[in-house]
Amino acid sequence: MPVQTLPPPVWTGRSDPEDGALALRMHHLAGKAGAGAALIGFCCDAGVVRNKGNPGAAEAPGAIRAALAGLAAPAGFDGFRDAGDIAVTGDDPGPGQDVLAAELAALIGDYRRVVVLGGGHETAFGSWQGLRRALPEAKIGIVNIDAHLDIRALGAAGASSGTPFFQIHQDDPHGFDYAVLGLAPEGNTQALTARAQDWGVDMIADRELQVSAEAGFAAIDAIAARNDALYLTVDLDVLPASVAPGVSAPAARGVPLHVVEALIDRALASGKVRLADMVELSPPRDTAGLSARVAALIARRLLI
């Protein structure tokens, strides 16, 4: 079987009952009745390998869960459902993307927000398809916090972690509305940049986001204003290698973590983010577990 659906793990972690009812951590709220958010894992290396990257992203959902479990639960958080994992065992991400889309279409109808733990950035095509199925008439804007455009044309190898937004444009050329925040000019060829300009992609370079997130706020506000729903996708390779070394393509410059967090908060403040995902963590390259801890901070932020 090229794709398997796996049940959620048992969430465990530290407990401090001596501190009373407010001493909750995220693992205490996994599976809570009446939860407003859900998460699902997409365990897939196929897209990264096809994109000539370093494999390991298939292990990311488990690593993020483990780092997330012990984080303190925020005040007023109503918990989350863990919908388990979709594991892609073949060399083609397509069947996994189809299963992810079907699972998400159902989850989005039941929860205020769904968070996907990738996987390489091929996750994005399955994510977007699921949101489109759940909201067939909605205008959907895409906010990608990423060092890369990921709009490579489909080559002989087929879809990869470098092609998801090209595929989305193919599916919905007239409705395609895409902003990329944290772009590394050195990591995107002139061909990709020219394609993005031709498609009207809003691009904010990493150099503009070194001190604060202000340069990205206008792009987020504008795309939120003209769409009914937002799909927020966070590629961990947007962060500096000193903060996120455990990714397929560590960044020499990157965007500081506090700026990435502020961009996420701005998108969430619009009230229109129905779906978010986080991609490209590679646990085999994350020897000290630092990148997984950073990913857990972001996952917590996306769930609340």
pLDDT in tens, 125-168: 999 999 999 999 999 999 999 999 999 999 888 999 999 999 99
d(Cα 248, Cα 147) in Å, to the nearest integer?
Answer: 12
What average pLDDT does this structure show over 188-206? 98
In this predicted structure, what is the pLDDT of residue 79?
96
Tell me: pLDDT of 16 over 90. yes
In this predicted structure, what is the pLDDT of residue 294?
98
Q: How confident is the model at residue 241 (pLDDT cuts 50, 70, 90)?
A: very high
In this predicted structure, what is the pLDDT of residue 52?
86
pTM listed for this prediction: 0.97
Q: What is the pLDDT of residues 112-126, one digit of tens each?
A: 999 999 999 999 999
In this predicted structure, what is the pLDDT of residue 155?
85
In this predicted structure, what is the pLDDT of residue 156?
83
Tell me: pLDDT of 1 over 80. no
Taking a C-beta distance cutoff of 8 angstroms, is the pair 160, 93 a contact? Answer: yes
Any known ligand binding at 228?
no
In this predicted structure, what is the pLDDT of residue 54?
85
Q: What is the DSSP letter of 158?
A: B
What average pLDDT does this structure show over 280-285? 96
Mean pLDDT of the chain: 96
What average pLDDT does this structure show over 270-292? 97
For the chain, strand residue ranges (E) read: 3-6, 37-43, 80-88, 113-118, 140-145, 178-183, 202-205, 229-235, 273-279
In this predicted structure, what is the pLDDT of residue 157?
83
In this predicted structure, what is the pLDDT of residue 243?
95
What average pLDDT does this structure show over 225-241? 98
Any known ligand binding at 286?
no
What average pLDDT does this structure show over 54-70? 96
Any known ligand binding at 146?
yes
Q: Please state at what angle helix 123-134 crosses helix 94-110, rounded to 10 degrees.
A: 40
Q: Which fold has domain 3-303?
A: Arginase; Chain A (3.40.800)
- The H-assigned helical ranges of 135-237 are 164-171, 190-198, 214-225
Any known ligand binding at 237?
yes
